[in-house]
Chain A
Amino acid sequence: MNKSIHRVKTIAKKEVVEFVRDWRTIVAIIIIPILMFPVLFIVFPILLESEAAELDAKNVMIEIQYNEYPEDFSALFNQSSTTIALVNTTFNQSLSEPMADFDRIRNMELDAILRLNYTDDIWFYSIIHLSTSESSNEAKARIIDVLAQFEANITSQRISDGGLDVDSTLDPLRWDGDVSKSDVATEGEQAGLILSLFIPLVLAIWTFSSAIQPSIDMTAGERERGTLEALLGLPCTRNELLMGKWLGVATITSVGVLLQIVGLLFAIGYLATSDFIGIPDLSLAAVVLIVLSIMLFAIMVVALELALAMRSHSVKEAGSILGPAIILIIFPALFTQVINLDGIESFWFGIPVINILLALRELLLDRVIVEHILIWMVSSVIYATLAAYYAAKQFKREDIVTTLS
């Protein structure tokens, strides 16, 4: 028994050492996971702000066609970057028909046209625009803002003219006090809810994807490089070999996943512009179960990837099998996000992949439901065992020593 553990540890240690000595691995397993979310949280807002500023400064050309021009209407366009051309006209057709203006908009001679037709106390309007053009969309957005302001002014004026109080007429139903104080969920529970929407997704996808490269390298890669044959001639059993390699891949993958979570939490805690999220309130039982669920998931995923990679005839074949196989995780992961946890049927906790993702969602909300836990735990142990059995079967194949590549 001791000999066996020693061999497994020796294999795993060598796999990790060899993997870590490749600078590309350091980038893929350590640098990218830890920096991905912080960079995203820094770069994305900057990008959004700069794009918004650029659009604000953009000079757009708007033509207003009218049969009666509202007083002070142009003053509502308070941006200096908006150029307005006024055309007095009469309308015989629907305002939405582009008619002769079709080409002027498509050729970007104008960014948008506002048509205003005043008939029987009603302002009919339409905006002719090109939805595939950024300038045209910006022009349309500015027109809509002005029209909203214009409509509010008219509405207020008419209510006032009718002898009513504008404020109470327009806003007869009001929330009293601070909305956030009326939510009985604690801040920690709210944080758990938000985290439960993406932590399981990140964990599942990253666990699967970061295990692909080491799994292939340690199986099909070893065979292709000719190192597997030397290894198979050693006194260690195929199961020890599998366990050693599994431990190696699991260690590398765990480090990657852990660093990504750290990066994500750091980005949320220190880089997010709003305080929309905090630290979730989790009981010790929930934390222990979260770790257990991730471990069971990792056992299954890594064993399955090692088996599929070992079954492949070459590194290329292994890559072309395991790469697309990530869909098996992405689809259930996305699907799980829309499942309502309140009153959820228990069978969901028995479906592979979905069971762990749902378990993580529940546990992040600190919902420790014994029935669900028993189902996902038993089913996950079964799936992990089946995956390990399949992997062991692949490792015991005689032809794993030869390659067709």
Chain B
Amino acid sequence: MSWRNELLAVWAVTLRNALMGARNVFFFFELLFWPIVGVLSIGLMSRFLELTEAQASFVLVGTIALSVVNVCQLEVAYAVLLDVWSKSLKHQFLAPIGIRHLTLGSWVVGMVRSLAVFGLLAALGRWAFGFQVLQPGWLALATFLLGCFLTAWVVGVSVCALITLFGNRAEAFAWASVNMVLVLAGIYYPISVLPDPIAAIARAIPLTYFLDAYRAHYGFASEFSAPIATGLALSVLYAGLAHWAFLAAIHRARRTGLLLKMSE
């Protein structure tokens, strides 16, 4: 496949997801409602508990990361979910495209949407609670967002693999596992407060390191020696594994007939 065709296939998926998102009122709901509710409730709780400015920033970073990862990973999962819901999966896999086109195209839309969510929450956090997302600087912020996007890609592609492997019934499990990953990554607390076996799992999650690196700029000592490098390395490793798992799930679905069943 030529580069032109590669980019065209990615662009086709990007455009499709963007059009679907723009025309669905529930997509706006998930884009605005839950993230705003999250920042307001956590911000107000931090005020009630009389947390210091640094402590409030710590939990607000977690809340914003949660929304950014959730919105972006959901969009990546739409690479398969939209076709599963509309029963058009077989048309997609009848076309000469690979899963990279589906996931990358969806990821692009996910990043744009979660950047919009991030901008909105950053403005709300500053206006309501005096939280400064740019306090660590542009580079630190960009790295943090990159970490969130990479985590979202890994989670989203894993959800795609699970749904392609087990069918629609895997949806509930997929969403539960996403939230489990986010909780383990230390969204509202440093992972040092977790019991040792669970902290070991948390150390295997890339987002843990990106949160740690970003929070270090708000005065919290880093728990790791090279968090960004570790986070990036883990992200690349998991991205490869998730891609392979999705590919294997598609091959299996072609063998078992699940691909057709999900289109009926």
* Pair from one complex: no
